[in-house]
Each structure stands twice: as structure tokens, then as C-alpha cells.
Amino acid sequence: KAGVTQTPRYLIKTRGQQVTLSCSPISGHRSVSWYQQTPGQGLQFLFEYFSETQRNKGNFPGRFSGRQFSNSRSEMNVSTLELGDSALYLCASFPTGMNTEAFFGQGTRLTVV
């Protein structure tokens, strides 16, 4: 069974630009969450989606948005990029039902210059 796939793996953008990151969860998983990881702050929750609905949102500005498609694939978008948005963005998928384990993708390393 294929794991969680995130594309692209690496991205360099300039301040003010926008970026879209993609996440394909494990087949059959309908729940997807996004996290931002930085050296100083650890893993911080961004969004959670289930069946195309956003169920929860973390404490991030409105420049961060996301969505989920009917095939459970998810995208997140960051507009008007700032230097502080440089981070590893991780996607995690969960199987349906009460479960204890999150399956993470390799992440997208975003560098804003």
C-alpha cells in the first residue's frame, strides 16, 4: 500500500508570492491534517479535513488556506509569502474510525527568500 505522498518535496519562493502544496493520503483514508514544522516551534497544527470538510483550523493567519477533494487528496495554499513561512510542511492521513496512528508524508520543504 502506497504511503502518504506530498508534492513537491522542495520549493523556493520569493516574498509576496503564493504557493500550493499537495498531499495524497493513503488509499482509503478520508482524514487529512496539515502541520508546519520549524526548528523553534516544533510541529504546529494547520488544518484538518474529513470528507471535503474542514473540521478544525489552527492558529494561523488567513493567508493559510486549504481544501480537500472528493478523492481525499488535499491541498494547502499560502498567499503573500513571508520569510517566516519557511518551514517543512507535513501532511498526515488517518484511517476512518477511532484510530491512534497518524501516517505522515515526507513533507514539502518551503524556503522563502
Partner 1 sequence: GQSLEQPSEVTAVEGAIVQINCTYQTSGFYGLSWYQQHDGGAPTFLSYNGLDGLEETGRFSSFLSRSDSYGYLLLQELQMKDSASYFCAVRDRGSGYSTLTFGKGTMLLVSP
Point out which residues bind partner 1 (CB under 8 A).
Answer: 4, 31, 33, 35, 41-45, 48, 50, 55-56, 90, 92, 94, 98, 100-107
Nearer to partner 1, 43 or 79 (CB): 43
Residue 16 CB, shortest distance to partner 1, in Å, is: 27
Question: Contact, 31 vs 56, CB < 8 A?
Answer: no
Nearer to partner 1, 79 or 109 (CB): 109
Alpha-carbon distances, residue 36 vs 40, 45, 70 (angstroms) = 11, 7, 24
- Mapped onto helix, strand or coil, the DSSP state of residue 47 is strand
